Amino acid sequence: MTPDTILTLKGISKTFYLGTPNQNNVLNNLNLTVKKGDFITIIGGNGSGKSTLLNSIAGTFLIDKGSIKIKEKEMNKLKEEKRASLIGRVFQDPLMGTAPRMTVSENLSIAYRRGQKRTLKKGSTSNERLYFKTLLKKLDLGLEKRLDSEMGLLSGGQRQAIALLMATMNQPELLLLDEHTAALDPKTASVVLELTRKRIEEENLTALMITHNMQDALNYGNRLIMLDKGQVIIDLSGEDKQDLTVAEVLGLFQKRTENRLVSDEMLFN
């Protein structure tokens, strides 16, 4: 492992409903190395293992075999709450990740104090409020004027923008974005994606972003991976990614899957 390696996945596998007629092998001996500052977009068909990959990294459930390391720290046996100090996450559903009956300021306070000793206090100090206003103003959505509004009164795009701030406020080792613009209208999704790019660049974060929009996968990030049947079948970065078109990605996917089918046939014949 090199000093700039943030995430190392070695041979990770995850099967659901093992031993039943519904057995589903979602991740199959998957390997991936992520460097400091990588902004990786993840694409793949339904059931390819995209969300299961992020859930495995976050500790939403434990993998069946393999190794997950953040820097030098082994994650395999750590539950989700134990990984939270290292990982920031924004979900697809704008209703997740924030408390709707609490104010914007209260939600930001919870994120700001993540990893600190817990107290009964849920409000914000005057200094914290000034800091939150500064962060919110950078979003250019007028949210710095709504510190005392309940989160549930905001639009989906506004909530996702705040969830992004909450997930990145303490500069996590890894940021996981699980189709965080999929529930938004195209215009709002574009705004949130630009905020995401800006936030990642400003804070020099390392991020994995799932998207179903292949053009977004090409437009954002420095690296693109494609999953199929729980494995990484395409991993492109730099000029290889920059010069691709959506049609070329689809063609590359078809070629790789055809090669896998031929290999499987040779193995079992």
What are phi and psi for residue 40, nearest 5 degrees? -100, 125
Residue 266: pLDDT over 80: no
Spatial distance between the Cα atoms of 85 and 88, rounded to a whole number of angstroms: 8
To the nearest 5 percent, what fractions of the chain are helix, strand and coil? Answer: 40, 25, 35
3-state class of 173 per DSSP? coil
CB 162, CB 99: distance < 8 Å:
no
CB 225, CB 32: distance < 8 Å:
yes
Give me the mean pLDDT over the 42-47 stretch: 94
pLDDT tens-digit readout, 212-239: 999 999 999 999 999 999 999 999 998 8
Helix (H) or strand (E) holding 9: strand 5-16
In what order do the strands lie in the sheet containing 5-16? Answer: 24-35, 5-16, 65-70, 73-74
pTM for the structure as a whole: 0.91
Residue 1: pLDDT over 80: no
Spatial distance between the Cα atoms of 81 and 197, rounded to a whole number of angstroms: 26
Closest by CA position to 28, among listed 65, 79, 61, 2: 65
Locate the DSSP E strands across the chain: 5-16, 24-35, 39-44, 65-70, 73-74, 87-90, 174-178, 207-210, 223-228, 231-237
Residue 135, CA distances (Å) to 6, 115, 190 in order: 26, 20, 20
Residue-range domain boundaries for the chain: 5-50+62-268
pLDDT tens-digit readout, 120-172: 455 678 899 999 999 999 999 999 999 999 999 999 999 999 999 999 999 99
Spatial distance between the Cα atoms of 86 and 76, rounded to a whole number of angstroms: 14
Residue 117: pLDDT over 80: no
CB 184, CB 166: distance < 8 Å:
no
Spatial distance between the Cα atoms of 95 and 150, rounded to a whole number of angstroms: 12
Residues in the chain: 269
CB 52, CB 44: distance < 8 Å:
no
Give me the mean pLDDT over the 45-66 stretch: 96
Q: Give the CATH class of 5-50+62-268.
A: alpha beta
Q: Which amino acid is at 169?
A: M
